[in-house]
A and B are shown apart, each in its own frame.
Chain A
Amino acid sequence: GENVEQHPSTLSVQEGDSAVIKCTYSDSASNYFPWYKQELGKGPQLIIDIRSNVGEKKDQRIAVTLNKTAKHFSLHITETQPEDSAVYFCAASGGFGFNAGKSTFGDGTTLTVKP
C-alpha cells in the first residue's frame, strides 16, 4: 500500500518568514496530493491540492510543488502569519473515483509562527 512520510514534524518560524514542509510517497499510481490544515479541536480542512499532471500550483501565500520522478511534494507558505499556526498534513491518493477520497496521510507538521 501507499506510504507517506512527512518532514519536519515540528517547525517554528518568525512572522513574515517562509515555511516549507516536505512529503514523499511510495506508490507511483498516486496522482492526487492534497494538503490539509488542522486547528486544535477541529477536523482537517483542505488548503491546496495538486494533481500529478501539474508541477506547481499557487494560491495566494500558499504553493505546492510536485516531483513525480522523485515521488515528493512540498508545501510552501510565504509571509507567514500567527493564524497559520496549526498542524499541516500531506496526503496521497489514487485520485479518481472513490479512491480519490481514500487518502494516505503523513504524520503531520506542527507549525508555530511567532509574532
Chain B
Amino acid sequence: DTGVSQDPRHKITKRGQNVTFRCDPISEHNRLYWYRQTLGQGPEFLTYFQNEAQLEKSRLLSDRFSAERPKGSFSTLEIQRTEQGDSAMYLCASRSGTSLGTGELFFGEGSRLTVL
C-alpha cells in the first residue's frame, strides 16, 4: 500500500497525559500537512512541512503541540498535557512538490484522539 499511513488509528488517554501520532506520507511526496477535524466540521490546517523544514504553524497549534519531520520522511505530532478540547481526528496529508498547478492532498485515515 503506497498511501498515507497514520498510527495509531485510535488513542484514548486521560487528561494531562502526552500523546504522539505518527504519519508516513507517500514516499515521493516532499510536502506534509497536519489537519485537525472535530465532529461535524471540516479539517482545519495545523502545520506544514516541506522536506524536514516546518514552514508554517497555525495559531490553533498551541505551545502544547509540537510536530517534527526529522529526515523529511515520516512526521510526528505530539500533544503534551492533553485537554478534553484536544479530542478530535488528527489527519495527515501529503502532496508532491512537483505537482505544479494542483494542490491535491492525499489524506491518511486519521488518528482519532479521545481525552477523558
Distance in Å: Cβ of B105 to nearest Cβ of chain A: 5
* Interchain pairs with CB closer than 8 A, number: 71
Q: Give per-residue flags for A42-53: 1 if the beta carbon is below 8 A from chain B beta carbons, else 0.
A: 111110010100
Instruction: Provide the residues of chain A in CB contact with B106, threshold 8 Å.
Output: 46
Q: By the criterion CB–CB under 8 Å, are A98 and B56 in contact?
A: yes
Complex CA gap A31/B59 in Å reads: 23
Q: Which of B4, B42, B50, B91 sits near A98, CB closer than 8 Å?
A: B50
Instruction: Tally chain A residues at the interface, Cβ within 8 Å.
Output: 29
* Contacts A34-B104, A43-B109; A107 near B42 (Cβ below 8 A): yes
Residue in A32, A89, A96, A100 whose CB lies within 8 Å of B43: A89
For B93, list chain A residues within 8 Å (CB). Answer: 43, 101
Q: Is there contact, CB below 8 Å, between B40 and A107?
A: yes
Bound CA span A95–B107, Å: 17
Interface residues of B in 97-112 (CB under 8 A from A): 100-110
State A50–B96 Cα separation when bound (angstroms): 18
Task: Tell me if A91 is interfacial: C-beta within 8 Å of chain B.
Answer: yes
- Specify which of B44, B50, B109 is in contact with A105 (CB 8 Å cutoff): B44
- Minimum C-beta distance from B3 to chain A (A): 9
Please give me the 6 A-B residue pairs with the lowest Cβ-Cβ distance, nearest first.
A100-B103, A105-B42, A43-B107, A32-B103, A46-B104, A89-B42
